[in-house]
Amino acid sequence: MITTVLRHALRARGGEPAVLCHTGAETRADLAGLPTAPGDLLLDLDAQPPGQPVFDDDRVAGLVAVVAATTTDLNRVLTSAVHLPRAVHVVAALVATPGHQEPPVPVGPGMGQWRDLQELRVRRVDRRGWVCELFFPNAIETAPVLDAVLHGTRGRRRGPALAPLAALNGTEAALWRPGDTGAHGVAAQGPVPLRRVTPVADLALRLHDHETPPAWTDEAVPALDRTSTDTDSWDGLTGPDGHTRAAGIADTAVVRAAHTSTDPVQRIAPVDETTVNPTGFAKAENGPLGELTLHGDRAVIRQGRKDLVTVAPDGTVTDVDLAHLRHLRGVRVDWTGHSGPRAAVRAVASLAAGGVPLVSDPVPAWAAGLGRPLTELLANAAEADLSDRLAREEHSVRLRRAALRTHGLRSRWRALAAEAGVPVPAGPRISVILCTRRPEMVGFALAQIARQRGVDLETVLTLHGFPAALPRVRAAIDAYRATGLPITVHEAPADQVFGSVLNDSVARACGDLIAKWDDDDWYGPEHLSDLVLARTYSGAELVGTGQDFVFLQEVDLTVWRSRESETTTRFIAGGTILTDRVVLEETGGFRPLPRAIDTQLLIAVARGGGRVHRTHGLGYVLRRTGGGHTWSEDMAYFLHNYARQWSGWRPSSLLEGEPAPLGIGNAQEQPVGATQHTGGHP
């Protein structure tokens, strides 16, 4: 199908040259045998260094076509695609996409560049592929068109920007800055080009081989140096038996070559979390166990004798690769099965970022680039845990947290900026909106907020129908302030409708993000940071968790419902909503209703074309008592289709127990319904 589309496009392109590009595994075959003409170009975008134009002059192409194996591959080469020529006909073909992805319907630019667009075609190829064609009467820049096609697969939002602005040198530079059409190529010695009087980048990154790079000449823009992945292949470092020796290497030239920095993590090309992430995670505890190992001269992930995934020599794992692994209960890492140390580290980090449960033998010294969190998780993982649904998902969550925070694209570039002394904007501040009618629950709820880690937050506490001067309320607020966290206290009249009270709370918030908080539910210390991660990799307008764990207080029973997670959905737990302030503005905020306001907000987001993403629900426990809830479902609702149940309060281990309520001087003063539990793993 892709070949047929390209044949028709070549016949219709007129007298201008065509540029046929490919990226990713085995895509060159889609360009074989096409009716090309003299002057046409066949281009491997994976080998195209940033800054090298395709044509030496300003020629216009009659056709520019890019055939990408996966969305991950297309996103990576956008960085090099900025040097493709302008064209009147652009074809973007994706050979395969994961099942959870949106079709590549382009999200057009906002400055009127496409007002004269003549025709747009989006067609499915086989079961998982897509072809998008765009026709213009006059030549248009190609890279923004490809970017618009790619952006369409993620919905309307692009997610947090990547900082700082970068200039790149070297063929592998695109691995370090995928998806960035604003990145500029630069000569190995500099300087960074100027736009009028301003450098086009704040930091330069040079990728080179073992040879010492030339001296950097730009005094205004700092440069950092990294070596290419292929410079530390096992055969090059240790000879033909390198693969066999890899698992036992401890203190050799290989380790010294792999650890040329005090922080080996920063020598590893980052993981592109916009495509390599836990979305699509499956509860497959009964599935087979795969193995990351060596087959011939390539690293593969095998199930028995079947190769499910062939890992690229640079360690890249794609979104489609992850989709091929979702039926596995886990993957065992064979540390001899890689082309080299950094490729191995990058492949393992990518699998972890994708939520694939991993187990391994002790991590060898040369893999220190994984970072301590990932190394410790792999060292403590037991294969038996992968056959237990809850333990398997807990392990997956811990792995994805460690990998995304250590090796994610945005994390890596913030670390590079710090290394070079380049300031970057602070991360988003979260305003936690806590509205309660129950004075006895204030200390309990504030204790849940106070233990959040890894985020910058403030709290807007709205007391609905009672004053802050009540002794137990004042004690709780004072204890919260003693932690150093900012808090704004607002007293709302008892007769004000709940939705209106929430809107007043949002109006008093100063944060970039708004998180809704319920006064009687339990939240793990990573609750907010997990939501921020999900917001980054999902690109959704609103994120939250499911009501996986429910504590039925009347019968002293905990149920685990094991809902589908890491997916687009129409329903999440209202007490876990995280969204941008602008989304609340676009949707009209909370409706002035006494109940069902969370559901109404989710409906408004979907109606406006936004997406809701449900991440894992292991760090949240919904409490159900006899009454007083704005969501009125009886107990039987929560006893349907559960995976497990336990007597007493039994949360996931990711909840990390329960903090003592703030402002409580002794056990006799604890509020009803907030009795301390021993917690722990069921």
> CA of 258: how far to CAs of 335, 369, 373, 399, 604, in Å?
15, 8, 19, 23, 51
422 close to 647: Cβ distance less than 8 angstroms: no
* Residue tagged 């886990």 (tokens): 330
Q: Does position 262 have pLDDT exceeding 80, yes or no?
A: no
Q: pLDDT value at position 108? A: 87
Lowest mean pLDDT segment, chosen from 320-334, 358-372, 437-451, 654-668: 654-668
| CB 593, CB 600: distance < 8 Å | yes
Q: Is the pLDDT of residue 681 over 50?
A: no
Residues 466-524: tens digit of each pLDDT: 999 999 999 999 999 999 999 999 999 999 999 999 999 999 999 999 999 999 999 99
Distance CA 546, CA 37 (A): 56
Give pLDDT, residue 626. 64
Q: Which domains does the chain have, with CATH numbers?
A: 2-152 (3.40.50), 264-420 (no CATH), 429-669 (3.90.550.10)
* Residue 157 confidence (pLDDT) above 70: yes
Q: What whole-number distance in Å separates Cα of residue 277 and Cα of residue 106?
A: 22
The model's pLDDT over 384-424, given as tens digits with 9 standing for 90+, comes to 999 999 999 999 999 999 999 999 999 999 999 999 999 99
Task: Identify the three-state secondary structure at position 294.
Answer: strand
pLDDT tens, 356-369? Answer: 999 998 999 989 99
Q: Give the residue with greater pLDDT, 232 vs 47.
A: 47
- Going by C-alpha positions, the residue among 266, 67, 80, 106 that lies closest to residue 180 is 80
What are the DSSP E strand ranges found in 145-262? 166-169, 184-185, 194-195, 198-199, 203-208, 223-227
Angle in degrees, CA 494, 460, 667, rounded to 5: 80
Integer Cα distance of 549 and 638 in angstroms: 10
Phi, then psi, of 87 in degrees rounded to 5: -150, 160
In the prediction, which pLDDT does 210 show?
72
pLDDT in tens, 305-343: 999 999 999 999 999 999 999 999 999 999 886 678 899
Fill in the DSSP letter of residue 103: P
- List the single range of 292-306, 320-334, 531-545 with lowest mean pLDDT: 292-306
547-577: pLDDT as tens digits: 999 999 999 999 999 989 999 999 999 999 9
Phi, psi of 382 (to 5 degrees): -115, 135
Q: Please state, rounded to an integer, the average pLDDT across all residues of the chain.
A: 90
Question: What are the φ/ψ torsions at residue 243 (nearest 5 degrees)?
Answer: -60, -40
With b for 16 or more beta-carbon neighbours within 10 A and e for fewer, the 598-622 pattern comes to bbbbbbbbbeeebbbbbbbbbbbbb
Which residues have C-beta within 8 Å of that of residue 640, sequence separation ≥ 6? none
Q: Say which residue, 161 or 258, is predicted with more confidence.
A: 161
Q: What is the pLDDT of residue 235?
A: 61
Mean pLDDT of 57-64: 90
Q: What's the pLDDT at 246?
A: 57
> What pLDDT is attached to residue 211?
73
Give the pLDDT confidence score for residue 257 in this predicted structure: 46
Q: pLDDT per residue over 101-117, tens digit each?
A: 999 999 988 888 899 99
* SS3 readout for 452-485: CCCCEEEEEEEEECCCCCCHHHHHHHHHHHCCCC
Question: Is the C-alpha dihedral spanning 245, 247, 249, 253 positive or negative?
Answer: positive
CA pair distance 548, 620, nearest whole angstrom: 8
Q: What percent of the chain has pLDDT over 70?
A: 91
Residue 669 has pLDDT above 50, yes or no: no
Q: What is d(CA 678, CA 278) in angstroms, rounded to the nearest whole number?
A: 31
Indicate the range of 274-278, 325-329, 642-646 predicted with least confidence.
642-646
- Helices and strands (H, E) in the chain, number of each type: 19, 30
* Pairwise CA distance, residues 415 & 396, whole Å: 25
